[in-house]
Amino acid sequence: MPYLFTSESVSEGHPDKVADQISDALIDHFLAYDAKSKVACETLVTTGQVVLAGEVKSEAYLDVQDIAREVIRKIGYTKSEYMFEANSCGILSAIHEQSPDINQGVERKSPEEQGAGDQGMMFGYASRETDNYMPLALDLAHKLLLELAAVRRENKDITYLRPDAKSQVTIEYSDDNKPVRIDTIVVSTQHDDFDKDEQMLAKIKADIINIVVPRVKAQLKPELQSLFNDKITYHINPTGKFVIGGPHGDTGLTGRKIIVDTYGGKGAHGGGAFSGKDPSKVDRSAAYATRHIAKNLVAAGLCDEVLVQVSYAIGVAKPCGLYINTYGTANVKMTDGDIARKVEEIFDMRPYSIEQRLKLRNPIYSETAAYGHMGRESQVITKVFNKGKKTEKKVEVELFTWEKLDHVDQVKKAFGL
């Protein structure tokens, strides 16, 4: 019996994502000037106001107001009519020193025995469904909003867009779990005010369907392009007018889009948010490490789909357990439990080892804070902090290291593939 599966995404201008990006910009600045920084930073954004709160242990001193304003400016909140604007919004900082009770559980005399920054379980997932080993519905939802943001910044083909937007894609699957067609596409985008609402709605729908969607389709390989047809149901700004948006339309908080950040509802999620946390927090680092494992297992041909879980006790280096579920797609004659035990021999999942393997003590997190932490392209770039100031610093970093297929040969050798 065919079935439908849906995933959503939100743009960089969505209030929750504004909060995530501010929190991760602070993380990057702390790590750029003190790689040993321990940070847990939360952000709240609302009409004309930003509130920063959290715990920090660092030698670095930051102008948090300036950092927050630069993030807001880069997103596109630069006009007073948005009721949330980079230069004029109020910014309140309530950041204080990290609890020594937590810190004593993390830091050890031997770095290798660094304890986990919290208890909990983290999940990684990968599938052959797309070239980046991500679920198709989420990948398309992200691509729609990335293209919408690109069109907004070009300000050429579509000139009325504002930063806030959401997308949603529903895929029809066959009995053997293969995508057959796109059933529904939902896009809600903030826009400038118009004189005539009906004409406005018609134009927005036409522009999304005739400009944005074809640009997304053109990025896909032919078999995925064939999923687009004239039977797709489109809901474009289905509530009608969407002028009031962003933090003025809805309060935003760090960590409220964890499914958008990961796999769009596929696989599983341990419940922990990522943004605003340094890599000693396994909510973040171990989620990246399990994605790294999952992607390399599928790419090596061990299985066609896999879910990886790891769990920790606070202050303890060794994981409580590693779980593997190949959904019956394994290409080796081993149980999932046997596969998990062999995977433990390949990937050291102690927090310090994860940090070293994936180079997580670098300022690499701002780029993760919108359009998903997984399925992105690993690349080396140079980032500039406090540009034009006496404290200006350039740092060469490698982004999205957990997306690298650098353990495929080891997996193949270990499993005789």
CA 42 to CA 53: how far, in whole Å?
Answer: 5
Interhelix angle 408-415/282-299, rounded to 10 degrees, is: 60
- DSSP string for 347-408: S--SHHHHHHHTTTTSS--GGGSSS-SSSPPPEEEEEEESTTSTT-EEEEEEE-GGG---SH
The kind and range of the H/E element at 151 are helix 136-154
Query: Binding site membership for Mg(2+): which residues?
Result: 16
Helix H segments across 228-357? 246-249, 258-261, 282-299, 336-346, 351-357
Using DSSP, state whether 99 is helix, strand or coil.
coil
Say if residues 279 and 110 touch (Cβ distance below 8 Å): no
DSSP state string for 161-184: EEEEEEEEEEEEE-TTS-EEEEEE
Structure tokens belonging to residue 273: 């948010």
> Which is nearest to 383 in space by CA: 401, 398, 371?
398
Residue in the structure block whose two tokens are 């310090």: 352
* Pure H helices in 177-244: 197-207, 213-217, 222-225
Binding residues: 14, 16, 42, 55, 98, 164-166, 241-242, 250, 256-257, 273, 277, 281
Binding site as annotated, residues for K(+): 42
- Residues annotated within a binding site for ATP: 14, 164-166, 241-242, 250, 256-257, 273, 277
b or e along 116-146 (b: 16 or more beta carbons within 10 Å of the residue's beta carbon)?
bbbebbbbbbbbebbeebbbbbbbbbbbbbb
Structure tokens at 397: 């970093």
Q: Which residues are known binding-site members for L-methionine?
A: 55, 98, 250, 281
Question: With contact defined as beta carbons under 8 Å apart, do 215 and 146 qualify?
Answer: no
